[in-house]
Structure 1
Amino acid sequence: MARIAIVAVMCVPVGLLAPGANAAQPVAPQKVSYEDAVPGIAPPGVPLVSGMPELTQTSQPALGCTPETFGDNPHLSSTPGVISAHGWWKQGDCTNNKATVENCLYEYYTDGTWRRKTCNTASGIFPGGSSANRSAANRPCDSTEAISWRNRVDVDVDDEIDSSGTIDRQADVNCAITGEDQ
């Protein structure tokens, strides 16, 4: 009987025996100053926004029409060594059929901030999302290190009041940009 109890205790993971030492709890990221931060992989569960007010996720009640906003995950472009992402829209309940679509690429840094690296604004975009009807943000990579990226898309329907919602799409991409933020 005593041997069974010992075997049972020995099968319990060590982290479960010590209170507060459970390895399943997330580890707080080490604090790094803004100046010392470098591009990195976002930890699991990192909020959609951190560090930069312009990245606030928005979704407000519609004062006018509500277009549907779409974007793809950041990815490597067919042009070698370039990160890319796109934004497009569908008409929703809007009456106008042209919009200005902006999409921006943000790179995650080890201080927990998302830093804007490039944006593109395309005007006169028809709904749908084909290659002729979207915005494309692109920037050459400085290295092929895996980094977390976000694509933020905002749609403003031409000559019509519309909701101010934006969307974010996130992916880890083998592209690091160590140059200037925008």
Structure 2
Amino acid sequence: MLAPAALLSPSTAGAAPQKVSYADAVPGIAPSGTPMTVTQPSAQEALYCTPETYADNPHMSSTPGVVSGHGWWGKGDCSSNTATVQNCLYEYYTDGTWRRKACGTASGIYPGGGSANRSAANRPCDSTGQLISWRNRVDVDVEGEWDTSEVFERQADVSCVISGPDQ
């Protein structure tokens, strides 16, 4: 499962020194070349099954004024037919942090995706007049089996600002 922390640390490789404090940071566009994060299984986890983890880009929902992201899975080499899928949306801030704004978890999800077989994270925007960088981070836990702990992220710029509290 994802760590409960509300922040993802920025990459230090090629990152400019931070000039804005955490308290003074506002939502913004991530610097070009900010790497996507995919954690890799450890040698011990190689003994477990490896599901395929999928995420769509953060986007505006069909519900007006709502940012959205989805997560789903593929069986990989797992034998179970169901998994718990969690996805969380993170908004980029000008201090270089990614702040968690919404999560969705769905259990008993069959592999393959589609509207009935995915998790959804959604949150109403406070405003839609400015492009902001967003990440959708997905974690899959196969039900009844030990599985690896990798997560998958997708990033996109979306016209949605959430100035409300982090989750």
Q: Find 1:33's aligned residue among 21, 27, 39.
A: 21
Whole-Å separation in 1 of the counterparts to 2:17 and 2:65: 29
Whole-Å separation in 2 of the counterparts to 1:129 and 1:153: 13
- 1:7 aligns with none
Higher relative contact order, structure no. (Cα contacts within 8 Å, ≥ 6 residues apart) = 2
- 2:54 aligns with 70
Q: Which amino acid letter does the alignment assign opposite residue 89 of structure 1?
A: W
Q: Find 1:95's aligned residue among 64, 67, 79.
A: 79
* Residue 168 (str. 1) matches residue 149 (str. 2): no
* Residue 121 (str. 1) matches residue 105 (str. 2): yes
**C-alpha displacement of 1:97:** 0.5
Which secondary structure does the structure 2 equivalent of 1:171 belong to? strand
What's the % identity of the aligned pairs?
Answer: 73
Say which structure is richer in strand.
Answer: 2
**C-alpha displacement of 1:28:** 3.2
* Residue 140 (str. 1) matches residue 124 (str. 2): yes
**What root-mean-square deviation, in Å, do the aligned CA atoms of Structure 1 and Structure 2 show?**
1.5
**C-alpha displacement of 1:48:** 3.5
The normalised TM-score by structure 2 is 0.86
* Residue 44 (str. 1) matches residue 32 (str. 2): yes
Say which structure is richer in helix.
Answer: 1
**C-alpha displacement of 1:30:** 5.3
CA contact (8 A) 2:36 2:154 kept: no
**C-alpha displacement of 1:27:** 9.0
CA deviations on 1:93-131 (whole Å, 9 max, x unpaired) are 101000000000000000000000010110000001010
Q: Find 1:155's aligned residue among 108, 130, 140.
A: 140
- Mark the runs of 5 or more structure 2 residues left unpaired by the alignment: 1-13
Whole-Å separation in 1 of the counterparts to 2:18 and 2:118: 39
- 2:68 aligns with 84
**C-alpha displacement of 1:86:** 0.2
CA contact (8 A) 2:18 2:96 kept: no
**C-alpha displacement of 1:173:** 0.2
Whole-Å separation in 2 of the counterparts to 1:160 and 1:74: 29
- Mark the runs of 5 or more structure 1 residues left unpaired by the alignment: 1-25, 50-56
Whole-Å separation in 2 of the counterparts to 1:64 and 1:30: 40
Which deviates more, 38-47 or 165-174? 38-47
Whole-Å separation in 2 of the counterparts to 1:163 and 1:77: 31
**C-alpha displacement of 1:153:** 0.3
Q: Which amino acid letter does the alignment assign opposite residue 65 of structure 1?
A: C
- 1:110 aligns with 94
The structure number with the bigger radius of gyration is: 1
The alignment covers a number of residue pairs equal to 150
Question: Runs of 4 or more off by more than 4 Å in structure 1?
Answer: none
Q: Which amino acid letter does the alignment assign opposite residue 44 of structure 1?
A: S
Q: Find 1:59's aligned residue among 29, 40, 55.
A: 40
